Chains A and B, each alone.
Chain A
Amino acid sequence: MSEKLIETRNLGLVRDGRTVLDGVNFSIHPGEIVTIVGPNGSGKSSFLKCLIGALKPTSGKITQRRGLPIGYVPQRLDLDRTLPMQVARFLRLAGGDAKGRLAMVTRLGIGNILDRQLGELSGGQLQRVLLAHALVGAPELLILDEAAQGLDQPAVASFYTLIETVRREIGCAVLMVSHDLHVVMSASDRVICLNRHVCCEGTPTVVSAAPEYRQLFGYGTEGALALYRHEHDHRHDPARETGGGHLDRHEDQQEGHSDAG
């Protein structure tokens, strides 16, 4: 493939004396869909925040193609209720021309909520609006941080289908963090299994068969159940493997919340 959009070399991050990321090597090429999976507290969200510049890595290097337009879809907005923000105004804030915005509004089916306030939207509506906002600037890289969190199962599936179609039309690369493995995996060109460092990476089939991935997520049907069983502090130590995963999806979601702060 052609030149890399963004690349990290030996990226390390220490926060409050805790090693969050350690020696992460990563790159993404134009048009690629890459998904990062990892257990609770594995540094997924922190890694994305390093990429967009919200966190400063303690060591290592991030190189980004000059002037790379990035579209970012946060988990949620840290919106103050004193700030009135109509959906239409929010989209205009993203820039671009009116024609492009209109096309995106039609594409994402949010034409009927343009005069609503951001704070009044349902979770699914807000995600679509945030996606539209990210896509209006014609990004070459779209970054989604657990974007489907808080949506119910059908909504999650349709959200990812939407991302896939939009990507096909715009041709941007997509980097997302998720724990909806069974949905995400099929759509990804490459999956990266992250737990402070990159445990394994490759195509979805390769990763779901990899011993490192199995060790992180346990054994499940194509990773769907694996999600619910993994060890928190994994070591590459077979003796601990039977120690039993203790996390459930619920805790994973809490991790998302604390990471957002």
Chain B
Amino acid sequence: MPDEFVLRVVLAALGVALAAAPLGCFVLWRRMVYFGDTVSHAALLGVALALVLSLPVVLGVLLMALMVAAIILTAESRLHHVDTLLGVAAHSALALGLVAVALLGGAEVDLMRYLLGDILAVGWNDVAVIWGGAILCLGLLIWRWRRLLIASLDRDLALARGLKPRREAALFTLALAVLVAVAIKVVGALLISALLIIPAAAARPMAATPERMALLAALAAAASALLGLFASFRFDAPTGPSIVVAALLVLVMSGLGAAIFRRLRTATEGIQTIENSG
């Protein structure tokens, strides 16, 4: 049944895209781009963990992502900048994961499935897990929206209002880990943070408020998912990377559109000034 297959794939991609985009906005606002990278790279270690303990892959990935996130959030170093720590953690987690999967999983584990995702293999189970995770992420985000926003705006301002920025950060990280866990099958460990960051960045030039940026990012992500899937079927390209390339196209178009709009506006304002003075 090719129709049902297409529906499954579309639903899976849309679920991930819709949850990733608003989360990605916070990733940008909180300057956590590299953090997202690290958590998603740690996912591969999670795959190895799941294989060893015969757990569902989603669970292994979730546990590992949470563990690495917790380590990074609590780690403090007098010698290294947080960037350095994240860089070390991201690449070591990826390398360790690759080695562990190879050693523990043997030949039957197809690594490419977890690195680049394999959306064409999703079943209805996976779709359910993805939408469950996506709804959980979005629910968490909507529930904490105002508090998260103030905490992302300025830490001291949040504290003076009696908020707890650390708690908000922890909850946000939880949402991030859930997303990584459910998205790894669709886009793969290497490209998850692309799906977080690119649609959010594409939405930025068009948005005047955080809420509009989140909505526009969701729209951009959904469009990228559909466009990427279509291109992937049409040209027989790998699906995860195709979605990311589509997102990049949306970003470029949004940037160009915003630039042209600004030009036009200043130009008409200039003409008006000339007319008024003349």
User: Which A residues are within 8 Å of any B CB, using their own CB?
Assistant: 49, 52-54, 70-72, 74, 77-80, 82-86, 89-90, 93, 115, 117, 133, 137, 143
A-chain residues with CB within 8 Å of residue B213 when the two chains form the complex: 84
Q: A77-B153, A78-B154 are in contact. Are A86 and B159 (CB under 8 A)?
A: no
Contact between A79 and B153, CB atoms less than 8 A apart: yes
Task: Give the total number of A-B pairs whose CB atoms are below 8 A apart.
Answer: 70
Contact between A93 and B150, CB atoms less than 8 A apart: yes
Contact between B159 and A53, CB atoms less than 8 A apart: yes
In the bound assembly, the distance between CA atoms of A80 and B155 in angstroms comes to 12
| Chain A: CB-nearest residue to B26 | A83
Q: A89-B209, A89-B210, A93-B146 are in contact. Are A83 and B153 (CB under 8 A)?
A: yes
In the bound assembly, the distance between CA atoms of A171 and B208 in angstroms comes to 35
| Chain A: CB-nearest residue to B209 | A89
Partner of A74, one of B29, B156, B207, B209: B156
Contact between A83 and B210, CB atoms less than 8 A apart: yes
Contact between A54 and B155, CB atoms less than 8 A apart: yes
Show 12 A/B contacts (Cβ-Cβ < 8 Å), sorted by A.
A70-B160, A74-B154, A77-B157, A78-B154, A80-B31, A82-B201, A83-B152, A84-B207, A86-B208, A89-B210, A89-B211, A143-B160
A-chain residues with CB within 8 Å of residue B31 when the two chains form the complex: 80
Partner of A85, one of B28, B159, B209: B209
A-chain residues with CB within 8 Å of residue B156 when the two chains form the complex: 49, 52, 54, 72, 74
In the bound assembly, the distance between CA atoms of A71 and B162 in angstroms comes to 10
> Is B95 an interface residue, CB under 8 A from the partner?
no
Q: Mark B183-224, 1 if CB is under 8 A from A, else 0.
A: 000000000000000001100100111111100000000000
- B210 CB, nearest partner CB in chain A, Å: 6
In the bound assembly, the distance between CA atoms of A72 and B207 in angstroms comes to 27
In the bound assembly, the distance between CA atoms of A143 and B156 in angstroms comes to 12
> Is B85 an interface residue, CB under 8 A from the partner?
no
- B173 CB, nearest partner CB in chain A, Å: 18
Contact between A84 and B204, CB atoms less than 8 A apart: yes
- B167 CB, nearest partner CB in chain A, Å: 13
In the bound assembly, the distance between CA atoms of A82 and B210 in angstroms comes to 9
B-chain residues with CB within 8 Å of residue A54 when the two chains form the complex: 155-156, 159-160
A-chain residues with CB within 8 Å of residue B204 when the two chains form the complex: 82, 84
> Is B149 an interface residue, CB under 8 A from the partner?
yes
- A15 CB, nearest partner CB in chain B, Å: 13
Partner of B157, one of A74, A86, A89, A115: A74
Q: A52-B160, A54-B159 are in contact. Are A79 and B154 (CB under 8 A)?
A: yes
| Chain A: CB-nearest residue to B212 | A84
Contact between B159 and A52, CB atoms less than 8 A apart: yes
Most buried by A among B28, B150, B209: B209
- A55 CB, nearest partner CB in chain B, Å: 10
